[in-house]
Amino acid sequence: MTNPLDYQTSRRLSGTEEATYSQRGKAIINQLSILLKTARVHSPDNDSFKAQLEQSYQLYRDCLDEYGETVVQVQSDYLFFCGARVRYDNEGLAAPDHLRDLFQRAGISGFLTTSDLTKAELEQTALLLNEADRQGDLDFEGLQRRFDLANIGAVALLPPMDEKSSDENRDREERQFARRTFFYAMNNLKMVSNTMNADRPVDLARTKRVIHSLVDQIVSDDGSLLELTALKSHDQYTFLHSTNVCIYSICLGARFGLTKSELSTLGFAALFHDIGKTRLPLQVLNKPSDFNESEWELMRKHPALGVFTLAKTMPFEERCCRAMIVASEHHYNLDGSGYPALKRRRSLNLYSKIVTICDVFDAMTSGRVYRKVPASPEQVLRGMIPQAGYKFDPCLLKVFLNTVSLYPPGTLLLLDRHELALVVGKNADDLLRPKVKIVGTTQRLYDRGIRMNLADRNPQTGAYYRSIVRVAEPQEFKINTARYLLDEE
């Protein structure tokens, strides 16, 4: 999910894409203006208002089904739709002028709508905006409180644009929207899994929109979502692991040059690669000690269970068939070993080879099922490298190493000033000096982490402010890394 406050600069649209977005945006803006003006003279139960609301909602529904989210926003006195400037000729300025002036009087720069927008929420949005316009005494915070009281969860108001806002503020907003996308994806997977386990057909519209949002965010900037893959939870392991693997897979696929359409199909398959585990007994999945042979035999059935579950509950279409292939093959190695055992060796699907790498990396760093004690990301990567050629595709593994770097998000580092730093991102120009969050010293931990770039230098001397001494283990200093990854800044 791209940061709506920086749509204009973060999205690089082709000429054709920009024209399409501009055309869609013009239709949305014109219809919004009509809806708002109608709401000023007619009550919500009036037929004219109902007709305009229905037309507005259908326009939004079409855009949300395709894009996953929409943003209408004023930047530098121009209206933008999803990052593309909406262009008007001299005879069609009434609607954009109306919306731009209303936003200014209401103390906002625009608003974002998410894929679960309801008609009732769109109606409430129009009524509250008109009410704020009539009263003329609200600012962003005041209007936000009214939206919160009305329980409008699918519409996010955007504060007035500060054209001089710092990169730090934009980074913070990007992380917040990435976090929102991440947990939305995980919760959606939970709901879909419950439906599947009841052997009911699955409505995939929401899942497709979630995957689209993940792809959009990662193609724009994968750092904010990669940072969240360092979260590890035993209570939510199955869903968190699958969400992590989905993000890793899309990142790897993007680096490998897959198109957005291919990335969406890959992300979909990755999200459901372990769906068969939801059919296994919880006492086996959550067993704290090592498995015995009968439990391992049961665990090895989850690829086949995944295929049966997907085939039974999903429509027969390309992305669902791809998901079935990946569910079947993600424990089948390059040299023909692994499980399920096959009578005849076969070439693995590209998506399966990608998901296999991402699945092993996240599972080994989580300390579940295949390794009860978690290993540091650095240790896992060093252990995976010798397996290139017989377990992992060598080319894909090399791309994955470049994607997560030597110090992947979640790695704990000891610095030369006796500080402890949690890796939250990489520097493309210097993979040995990642972006980190200082969480304390060897003597005490901080209440909140402090972000820092290890590539920063003293401008007078040219020396680095801090350097890495070694990789540390969270258990060594009793650090709950999730706490610092999720703290509010």
Question: Could you report the per-residue pLDDT of 451-484, keeping only the tens digit for each?
Answer: 889 998 888 888 888 999 988 888 888 888 878 8
Give the model's pLDDT for residue 370.
Answer: 56
Q: Which residues contact 100 (CB under 8 A, 6 or more apart)?
A: 74, 77, 79
Give the model's pLDDT for residue 373.
Answer: 63
CATH no. for 169-404: 1.10.3210.10
Whole-number Å distance between alpha carbons of 392 and 445? 39
Give the model's pLDDT for residue 4.
Answer: 39
Structure tokens at 17: 């894409």
Q: Are the beta carbons of 235 and 177 closer than 8 angstroms?
A: no
Q: What is the mean pLDDT of the chain?
A: 84
List the chain domain ranges.
4-160, 169-404, 412-486
Q: How far is C-alpha 10 from the chain's CA centre?
A: 16
Confidence label for 384 from pLDDT (cuts 50, 70 and 90): very high
Give the model's pLDDT for residue 85.
Answer: 81
pLDDT higher at 466 or 235: 466
Three-state DSSP class for residue 23:
helix
pLDDT higher at 314 or 165: 314
Structure tokens at 366: 């989580």
Structure tokens at 314: 């999903």
Flag whether pLDDT at 83 surpasses 80.
no
Q: Is the pTM for the entire model greater than 0.75? A: no
Confidence label for 162 from pLDDT (cuts 50, 70 and 90): low
Flag whether pLDDT at 423 surpasses 60.
yes
Give the model's pLDDT for residue 186.
Answer: 87
Whole-number Å distance between alpha carbons of 109 and 87? 18
Flag whether pLDDT at 234 surpasses 80.
no
Structure tokens at 271: 């999200």
Confidence label for 145 from pLDDT (cuts 50, 70 and 90): confident
Length of the chain counted residue by residue = 489
What average pLDDT does the segment 32-43 reach? 92
Report for 50-54, 159-163, 367-371: range of highest mean pLDDT: 50-54
Q: Are the beta carbons of 366 and 282 closer than 8 angstroms?
A: no
Whole-number Å distance between alpha carbons of 252 and 399? 7
Give the model's pLDDT for residue 202.
Answer: 83
Residue type, 9: T
Flag whether pLDDT at 5 surpasses 60.
no
Confidence label for 238 from pLDDT (cuts 50, 70 and 90): confident
Instruction: Give long-range contacts, CB 8 A cutoff, 24+ apart: 360-367.
Output: 360/384, 360/392, 361/248, 361/400, 361/404, 362/229, 362/241, 362/244, 362/245, 362/248, 363/241, 365/232, 365/410, 366/232, 366/237, 366/241, 367/232
